[in-house]
Amino acid sequence: MEQQKNSKVWLYDTTLRDGTQSEDISFQVSDKIRIAKALDELGVHYIEGGWPGSNPKDIAFFKEIKKESLRQTKIAAFGSTRRARVTPDQDENLLTLIDADPDAVTIFGKTWDFHVREALRISLDQNLELIFDSLEFLKKNIPEVIYDAEHFFDGYKANPEYALKTLQAAQDAKVACIVLCDTNGGTMPFEVADIMEKVKKSITIPLGIHAHNDSECAVANSLVAVQHGATHVQGTINGFGERCGNANLCSIIPALNLKMERECVTPEQLKRLRIVSRYVYELANLVPNKHQPYVGNSAFAHKGGVHVSAIQRHPETYEHLRPEQVGNVTRILVSDLSGRANILAKAEEFNIDLDSKDPLTLEILEKIKELENKGFQFEGAEASFELLMRRALGTVRPYFNVVGFRVIDVKDESDKAPRSEATVKVKVGGKIEHTAAEGLGPVNALDNALRKALESFYPSLKEVRLFDYKVRVLPAGEGTASITRVLIESGDHSGRWGTVGVGENIIDASYQALADALQYKLLRDQEATDKA
């Protein structure tokens, strides 16, 4: 396969159709337009906008996308071959595809004899006819026509002779590309390799791959298909799709570019991969998978002290590529597994001057291990960790001091939710502010009261939003004794940060995390002012 290096692979994204078939996802037309523009910037060659014959939303997308100026991407519409008893020029599905006026059209047809007999209920020869004349008709009306051979691998394994005849029908229609589909997602990589080699003996036009992930092989199958001749790869951002999802382009693209030396996007476009991944998660209203390869928060995160010490000298010791190539970064996690190397690495990340021989380094390390033994976790609360280091070094001032607080829940009527009210007394400089606020639950009330008391001193706290609040009850001691850990993600217009609190009382644990979140915001504001 050496001769294939550096030859181009065409990327075909179907997030806007296959991706929306996931049970957790529904995009509005405006969302689909935004995603299409992001994919164009990433360098994707084709974007499948949807099936215009299936719903009004997809019809609207094809109208709206024409108002956008895309750099390189072709917009493709998706549909099926004609109905069995209708000629192509009278088939509503094919006519709707043409009316959508896309740059390209992809239609699927049956390649598995089982489906022809049981789903279409026509003869095998009739199926060959409708594949050929549907494609031939579209070729006369659309600049580029692609054929998706649905269930090809299952069809080939059941009846290889007939499966190849369906591909030959598409080749006779002179389509731009024939895409071999693992629609049920159960084909193994070694089967893909074997079947691809056999297909190439009779099919000479470009081949593509469309893999589903039901056996966790979609990415592997796609890459193996490319290794054996495919020059067109279909998939979705983050692997979104029906059942277990589709082939994940966020893994396929860097593998093609960096591992297989196949041209698909430029190095600069590749650096946008993580941004696009998280943007699509955001529009889908889903929490990003932190353990996702290449683009996840944990993809290049290091926790063990030996690992950290090694990657600081030579990153390749524990990283298979430089994370910056895909828009990610190396992260050093701090936990009770940490050594001095972790502490020093985090200090450097926060621009804190710390020496390995400084007794404070060991003091901070021991403090972390002590706190984690009590239930603290700094892996998702790096703001709390930075504050801990700066407090140990005496380089951060206390912007406020909470003298005390009280939280009350009152249930007046049995059929109504309790009312929550918090009273807070804070000291800023020499002045004390005593205030109260209500909220949706005791933690929200405490958050509101704390902000209310501090905003007169620090107006910028109005910018802070609470994005996520997680509570975990940790076992400790005997019987029912337990402690509570609260992780909070806060943020403003310039970024997000995590803080942690631990205690036997959930309100106290929440207070610790809330107070750290506000302290960290004020620290960031001060640093920004100092730089200016």
Q: Does residue 292 lie in a domain region?
A: no
**Rounded Cα–Cα distance for residues 190 and 298 (Å):** 30
405 confidence band (pLDDT: 50, 70, 90): very high
**Rounded Cα–Cα distance for residues 519 and 497 (Å):** 11
Sign of CA dihedral 340, 342, 343, 349: positive
* Secondary structure element (H or E) that encloses residue 112, with its range: none
Domain boundary among 255, 283, 311: 283
pLDDT in tens, 286-308: 878 989 999 998 898 777 556 65
Say whether 25 sits in a helix, a strand or coil.
coil
Q: How many separate domains does the chain show?
A: 4
Domain that holds residue 329: 301-372
Verify that 309 and 230 share a domain, yes or no: no
For residue 131, CA distances in Å to 83, 137, 155, 156, 338 come to 10, 10, 15, 17, 61
Verify that 37 and 16 share a domain, yes or no: yes
**What pLDDT does residue 4 have?**
57
CATH label of the domain that carries residue 517: 3.30.160.340
pLDDT in tens, 357-370: 667 777 777 777 77
Verify that 202 and 244 share a domain, yes or no: yes
Q: Does residue 293 lie in a domain region?
A: no
The total of other beta-carbon atoms located within 10 Å of residue 63's CB is 12
- 371: DSSP letter: H
**What pLDDT does residue 368 have?**
72
Predicted confidence (pLDDT) at residue 209 exceeds the cutoff of 80: yes
Verify that 348 and 452 share a domain, yes or no: no
The string of DSSP codes covering 65-94 is: GGGS--SSPEEEEEEEPPPTTS-GGG-HHH
Verify that 225 and 251 share a domain, yes or no: yes
pLDDT in tens, 49-60: 999 977 888 999
Verify that 142 and 155 share a domain, yes or no: yes
The string of DSSP codes covering 409-475 is: EE--STTSPPEEEEEEEEEETTEEEEEEEEESSHHHHHHHHHHHHHTTT-GGGGG-EEEEEEEEEEE
Tokens of 275: 């941004």
Verify that 193 and 50 share a domain, yes or no: yes
Q: Does residue 230 lie in a domain region?
A: yes
**What pLDDT does residue 1 have?**
34
pLDDT in tens, 370-402: 777 777 777 667 888 889 888 877 878 889 999
Q: Comparing 4-8, 271-275, 456-460, 479-483, which segment has the lowest mean pLDDT?
A: 479-483
Q: Does residue 201 lie in a domain region?
A: yes
Q: Does residue 296 lie in a domain region?
A: no
Closest CA to 211 of 238, 246, 178: 246
Note whether 300 and 307 are within 8 A (CB).
no
Q: What is the pTM of this model?
A: 0.71
Tokens of 42: 């990433």
pLDDT in tens, 248-283: 999 999 999 999 999 999 999 999 999 899 889 878
Verify that 443 and 477 share a domain, yes or no: no
Q: Does residue 48 lie in a domain region?
A: yes
Verify that 163 and 33 share a domain, yes or no: yes
Verify that 156 and 229 share a domain, yes or no: yes
pLDDT in tens, 23-44: 989 999 989 999 999 999 999 9
Q: What percent of the chain has pLDDT over 70?
A: 90
Verify that 129 and 194 share a domain, yes or no: yes
* Secondary structure element (H or E) that encloses residue 183, with its range: none
Average pLDDT over residues 410-437: 89
Verify that 272 and 327 share a domain, yes or no: no
Q: Does residue 295 lie in a domain region?
A: no
The string of DSSP codes covering 258-295 is: IIS--BSS-HHHHTTHHHHHHHHHHHTT----TT-TTT
